[in-house]
Amino acid sequence: MAEILGIGAEAILVKDKFYGFEVVRKTRIRKDYRNSVLDERIRRRRTLLEARILATCKKNGIPVPTVLHVDLDKAEIVMDYINGVRLRDIMDSLNEEEIRKYFWVLGKEVGLLHKVGIVHGDLTTSNMILVRDKIFLIDFGLSYFSKELEDRAVDIHLLLRALESTHPRYVETAFQEFVKGYREVMGGYVESILKRLEEIRMRGRYIAERRRKIK
Amino acid sequence: MNEILVIGIESTAHTAGIGIFSSTRGILANEKSEYKPISGGIHPREAAEHHSKTFPSLLKSALEKANCRMKEIAAVAVALGPGMGPCLRIGASLARALALKYGKPLVPVNHAIAHIEIARYSTRMEDPLVIYVAGGNTLITTYVEGRYRIFGETLDISLGNCLDTFARETELGFPGVPEVEKLYHKGTQLLDLPYIVKGQDVSYSGLLTHALELFKKGYAIEDLCYSLVEIAYSMLVEVAERALVHTKKKEIVLTGGVARSKILQKKLFLMAKIHNARFSSVKPEYAGDNGAMIAYAGYLALTSGIVIPVDKSFIKPLWRLEQVEIPWRKF
C-alpha cells in the first residue's frame, strides 16, 4: 500500500492509492527547528500556492502532476503519480546527444511556464522527471506567480547554478540547448533574460568581473 | 616522516592573525588581535593600521608559543583574499617579507577555503556539507569534482552583516550577533517579518529593512531580536536542508564567525537529525577569522605543490571560492 517515495527537504512524499488512482501524497513536514507559528504559516501558504500553480500549469499544457485533492490543515496535496526517472539520477549516464535533446525540451517547458506567469523557484535536476520524451516538472514548493524579468532570470540562474554545482561537465552544452528551447517559446525575449542573468551573476559576492566592469 | 611547519597569516577583515601548523603535532599557535571600531562598521584603513601595528608582536608570540624559529618553518601561507584591500595588503606584505628574508616558499590561501578546511580538521569530518556564516559571507558549499561548489548563498548581504547592522542601528553594539542573541531569549512574540528563500538562496536585506522599520515604529526590541534571529536562521537552515537532501551528504559542519552561535547550532542539529546526518560545529577558537586556519590550509596547499612567486603574489579582494582547485581532496 502506502510506500514512502522520498523525504524531501520540506515534504514527505508517499505513494498511495486514491479512489483507485496511483497517487503521490505530498505533506509538508512540521520543522521543529523553527518557531511553530512561523512553521505553520509557511507550510499553509506554500501548500495553497503550490496547488494553484499546479492547476495553472495543467491548464496550459505544461507537464506537471495533476492535483486531485488539497488539505490545508494537514498541509497536504494529493496528485497523480508520475512514473519516470529523475533527471539528476541519470545525468551522468546520458550522452551528449541526449543532453542536448532533453535540455532543449526543458527550455521549451520553462519558456511556457514563464509565459503563463509562473516562476518555478527551484529548477534543479532533482525536480525533473523524464517520461519518454517529456520532462515532468515537479516540486512547485517554492513557485510563485510573476512575469517580472528579474524573477524569471533568477529562476534560470538557479538552474544554471544547480548544473554548475552538480553536473559541472555538462553545463555549456545543456545550457546552450536550454536557451534554444526557451527561445522557441519566448522569442527574442530570451536576450533580455541572458542579459539580466549576467547582471545577477555579477551581483554575487566576490566576482572578479564585477570589479572590472565598475572600473 | 619529517615534521613540516607552516606559518599562516590572516588579515582579510577585522582580525590580524598568525598561526603555526605542524604536520605531526597539529596546531601549535593561533595568535590574533581584533580591530574594534569605536563607532560604526569596519573602516578598512583603520583596520589595516591596526593590523600593521599588531603583527610584529603576534608573530613573536606565535613563534614563542610554537617554540620554533622562522628558519625551521617550511613555508609562509597567507590569505590573499577575499577581503578588504587595505587589510589584505598588510598580511600580504608581511608574508612576502618573511618569505624573502628567510628564503621560504609563499603559499596563497583563499580565506573561505581555510574556514572550510579548519572545520573539517577540527571536527574530523570527511565530506561534509559546509555552512559558512560570517560577517562577510553566508554560503552553503560542498566538495564536488575538484572544487568546493556553492549550493546556496545570500543574494545580497550576509547573515552576520544583517544582525550586525541591526544591532548598530538599534544601538545594541558591535559585534551585533551576540547582542541580538541575548535579547532573542527574552522575546516572546513572533512578528511578521519577510521570510525570503529563493530556491537554494536566501536574501537578508529586505528582512533587515523591515525589522528596522518596525523598530522605528516602537515594537519591543526583544520581540524584534527574537523574530529577526528566528526568521534569519530558519531561512538559512531551510536552504541548508535543501542542499543536504540534494547532495545526499551525511555530515554537516558549521564554520565562520557566526558558528559560535548556540541558537544556530541547535537549529542545524535538529535539522541534521531529521535526515540522520551528523552535525558538528568548528571549534570556537577557529570559528572567527584566525591564522591557524590559514596555516593549516597552507599546509594542504603546500603539500599539493601550490606555491606562488613573491612578485606574483597579488592580493585578490574578490577571490571566489569555486575558483580554487582542491588537489588535496582527490578521492
> Taking all residues of chain B, what is their mean pLDDT, rounded to a whole number?
95
pLDDT of residue B46: 95
Catalytic site residue A122?
Answer: yes
Residues B106 and B133 in one domain: no
**Cell match 544601538: residue?**
B171
Q: Residue A192: is its pLDDT beyond 70? A: yes
Q: Residue A207: is its pLDDT beyond 50? A: no
User: Per the domain annotation, does B123 fall within a domain?
Assistant: no
Residues B104 and B203 in one domain: no
User: Per the domain annotation, does B280 fall within a domain?
Assistant: no
User: Per the domain annotation, does B295 fall within a domain?
Assistant: yes
**Cell match 614563542: residue?**
B64
Residue of chain B whose alpha carbon sits nearest to that of A125: B246
Residues B138 and B237 in one domain: yes
Asked if the C-beta of A90 comes within 8 angstroms of chain B's C-beta atoms, the answer is: no
Q: Residue A16: is its pLDDT beyond 80? A: yes
A-facing residues of B in 297-326 (CB < 8 A) are 316-323
Asked if the C-beta of A121 comes within 8 angstroms of chain B's C-beta atoms, the answer is: yes
pLDDT of residue B175: 79
**Cell match 541572458: residue?**
A194
pLDDT per residue as tens digits for the range B15-67: 999 999 999 999 999 999 999 888 777 899 999 999 999 999 999 999 999 99
User: Per the domain annotation, does B98 fall within a domain?
Assistant: yes
Residues B74 and B184 in one domain: no
Q: Residue B240: is its pLDDT beyond 70? A: yes
Residues B96 and B193 in one domain: no
- Rounded Cα gap, residues B15 and B12, in angstroms: 7
Query: Percent of chain A scored above 70 by pLDDT?
Result: 94
Helix (H) or strand (E) holding B207: helix B205-216
pLDDT of residue B40: 75
Q: What share of chain A is helix, strand, coil (3-state, %, to 5)?
A: 55, 20, 25
Q: What is the ipTM of this complex?
A: 0.85
Return the CATH number at B49. 3.30.420.40
pLDDT of residue A208: 47
Residues B109 and B142 in one domain: no
The alpha-carbon gap from B149 to the nearest alpha carbon of chain A, in Å, equals 5
CB contact under 8 A, B245 and A203: no
Selected for mutation to probe chain B from A31, A33, A92 (highest B CB count within 10 Å) is: A33
Lowest mean pLDDT among A185-194, B142-151, B182-191: B142-151
Residues B160 and B223 in one domain: yes
pLDDT of residue A1: 62
**Domain-terminating residue out of B197, B220, B248:** B248
Residues B61 and B152 in one domain: no
**Domain-terminating residue out of B233, B248, B263:** B248
Residue of chain A whose alpha carbon sits nearest to that of B263: A33
- Rounded Cα gap, residues B88 and B108, in angstroms: 12
Residue of chain A whose alpha carbon sits nearest to that of B155: A204
pLDDT per residue as tens digits for the range B88-121: 999 999 999 999 999 999 999 999 999 999 999 9
Contacts of B104 (CB under 8 A, 6+ apart): B70, B73, B74, B75, B76, B98
Of A33, A126, A164, the CB nearest to B267: A33
Query: Percent of chain A scored above 90 by pLDDT?
Result: 73
CB contact under 8 A, B145 and A169: yes
pLDDT per residue as tens digits for the range A119-130: 998 898 989 999
Buried b (16+ CB within 10 A) or exposed e, B124-148: ebeebbbbbbbbbbbbbbbbbeebb
Residues B110 and B133 in one domain: no
pLDDT per residue as tens digits for the range B202-222: 999 999 999 999 999 999 999
pLDDT per residue as tens digits for the range A17-69: 999 999 999 999 999 999 999 999 999 999 999 999 999 999 999 999 999 99
Residues B147 and B174 in one domain: yes
pLDDT of residue B135: 84
In terms of phi and psi (left: phi > 0; alpha: psi -120 to 50; beta: otherwise), the region of A66 is: beta
Lowest mean pLDDT among A72-81, A90-99, A182-191, B221-230: A90-99
pLDDT of residue B331: 54
Q: Which phi and psi (to 5°) does residue B75 adopt?
A: -160, 160
pLDDT of residue B246: 83
Q: How confident is the model at residue B318 (pLDDT cuts 50, 70, 90)?
A: very high
The neighbouring-strand residues paired with A7 are A12
pLDDT of residue B94: 98
Of B151, B197, B318, the CB nearest to A206: B318
User: Per the domain annotation, does B253 fall within a domain?
Assistant: no
A-facing residues of B in 162-191 (CB < 8 A) are 190
The alpha-carbon gap from A208 to the nearest alpha carbon of chain B, in Å, equals 5
User: Per the domain annotation, does B54 fall within a domain?
Assistant: yes
User: Per the domain annotation, does B64 fall within a domain?
Assistant: yes
**Domain-terminating residue out of B229, B248, B267:** B248
User: Per the domain annotation, does B45 fall within a domain?
Assistant: yes
Q: How confident is the model at residue A204 (pLDDT cuts 50, 70, 90)?
A: low
Would you call B229 exposed, middle or buried from its count of C-beta atoms within 10 A (0-12, 13-18, 19+)? buried
Q: How confident is the model at residue A209 (pLDDT cuts 50, 70, 90)?
A: very low
Q: Which three cell numbers stand for residue A32?
A: 521543529
Residues B216 and B174 in one domain: yes
What sign does the dihedral A93-A198-A161-B132 (CA atoms) show? positive
- Rounded Cα gap, residues B72 and B184, in angstroms: 49
Q: Could you tell me the residue range of the domain that residue B95 belongs to?
A: 5-115+287-323
CB contact under 8 A, A166 and B144: yes
Task: Kindly name the residue from A32, A92, A122, A151 that is annotated as catalytic.
Answer: A122
Number of domains making up chain B: 2
Residues B133 and B111 in one domain: no
